[in-house]
Amino acid sequence: MKIGKLILPGTALLAGLFMVSSVKGQDADPNKWAPVNIQIDGKANEWPKPLNFYNNDTKLFYTIANDSNNLYVVINVPDPVSQMKIMRAGVTFSVNPTGKKKVVSSVTFPLLGEDAPEVVESQNQRTSVEWRRSVLQNAKQINVEGLIGVPDGNLPVKNDKNIRCAASLDDQGNMVCELAIPLQYLGLTISNDKPVAYRFKVNPLSRDDRKAKEKEQKDKQAAIVAAQKEGKTPPAEHHKEGEHGMYHGLNGPGMENLFYAKDFWTRQTMATHR
């Protein structure tokens, strides 16, 4: 994987946590040693700022860490399209302990199930940080595949396997997702001295979601045509000051990005000490 430094301009959306240069991970980069007394709560308070790496395809900032017992992942998602995809279909984190870019085990989170927001929710709801935060707090499940000693399928967020995840939104409206997986399920120990391959995949919305979104667009266009015929002012979408970027990308050409997966691989070595 060809890697290079990316210097990102600071914006209000990235204030505080991410107004700095970001770098994609090199194959030789080690994991970070996990923060002491880490809490998997979707707040990322314990993690050094900024997060270590950024991927432009998925629009994810991320850090991979470990201690003697667990592998940890924290991601920060300022991008509104990626946020909606994760709220509807989750992000899949995959691991191959041999370093090959082939999925061996994976965890998909957060899974909201029936609590997932409808694609046709009102603009006011979609731009509400509190509304999206409350939706994420209701995530009830994760999906696991290929973990050693753990049956494939869905697990509750609070499970007896000690696989933990949480997601929320910070004060700037950035989505924060955290995951902890016991190393034994991944076939890893801190004595692994070769790079481990990791994949991040932002899952796409479903066909049903696409149909719902297309119907929303057609209904809006029909309302505009009807208003014009009656000599009325066509309805317009409004964006409050400071919210113009939240879900603006869900309309027009940017809408297509909702229905395609985005993913990338990176390789890092295990951390062996603080």
Give the length of the chain. Answer: 274
Confidence band (pLDDT; 50, 70, 90) for 24?
low
Q: How many CA atoms lie within 13 A of 204 on its CB side?
A: 13
- Is there a domain that residue 226 lies in? no
Confidence band (pLDDT; 50, 70, 90) for 271?
very high
Q: How many domains does the chain have?
A: 1
Which region holds residue 133: left if phi is over 0, alpha if psi is between -120 and 50, else beta? alpha
Per-residue confidence (pLDDT) for residue 77, from 0 to 100: 96
Per-residue confidence (pLDDT) for residue 23, from 0 to 100: 56
Question: What is the domain range of residue 72?
Answer: 5-209+242-268
Asked if residue 58 has pLDDT above 80, the reply is: yes
The mean pLDDT value for 48-76 works out to 96
- Is there a domain that residue 134 lies in? yes
Which CATH number does the domain housing residue 32 bear? 2.60.40
- Is there a domain that residue 27 lies in? yes
Contact 168, 133 (CB under 8 A): yes
The mean pLDDT value for 33-39 works out to 94
The mean pLDDT value for 153-164 works out to 96
- Is there a domain that residue 234 lies in? no
Per-residue confidence (pLDDT) for residue 245, from 0 to 100: 36
Q: Maximum distance among all alpha carbons in the chain?
A: 73
- Is there a domain that residue 174 lies in? yes
The mean pLDDT value for 28-50 works out to 92
CA angle 149–152–158, rounded 5-degree value: 80
pLDDT digits (tens, 9 = 90+) for 182-203: 999 999 999 999 999 999 999 9
Average pLDDT of every residue of the chain: 80
Per-residue confidence (pLDDT) for residue 207, from 0 to 100: 61
- Is there a domain that residue 254 lies in? yes
Asked if residue 118 has pLDDT above 50, the reply is: yes
- Give pTM, 2 decimals: 0.77
- Is there a domain that residue 126 lies in? yes
Per-residue confidence (pLDDT) for residue 238, from 0 to 100: 44
- Is there a domain that residue 214 lies in? no
114-128, 166-180, 185-199, 239-253: range with lowest mean pLDDT: 239-253
HEC profile for the chain? Answer: CCCCEECCCCCHHHCCCCCCCEECCCCCCECEECCCCCCCCCCCCCCCCCCCEEECCCCEEEEEEECCCEEEEEEEECCHHHHHHHHHHCEEEEEECCCCCCCCEEEEEEECHHHCCCCCCCHHHHCCHHHHHHHHHCCCEEEEECCCCCCCEEEECCCCCCCEEEEEECCCCCEEEEEEEEHHHHCCCCCCCCCEEEEEEECCCCHHHHHHHHHHHHHHHHHHHHHHHCCCCCCCCCCCCCCCCCCHHHCHHHHHHHHCCEEEEEEEECCCCC
The mean pLDDT value for 15-26 works out to 47
The proportion of the chain whose per-residue pLDDT surpasses 70, expressed as a percent, equals 72
Question: Where is pLDDT greater, at 21 or 101?
Answer: 101
Per-residue confidence (pLDDT) for residue 229, from 0 to 100: 80
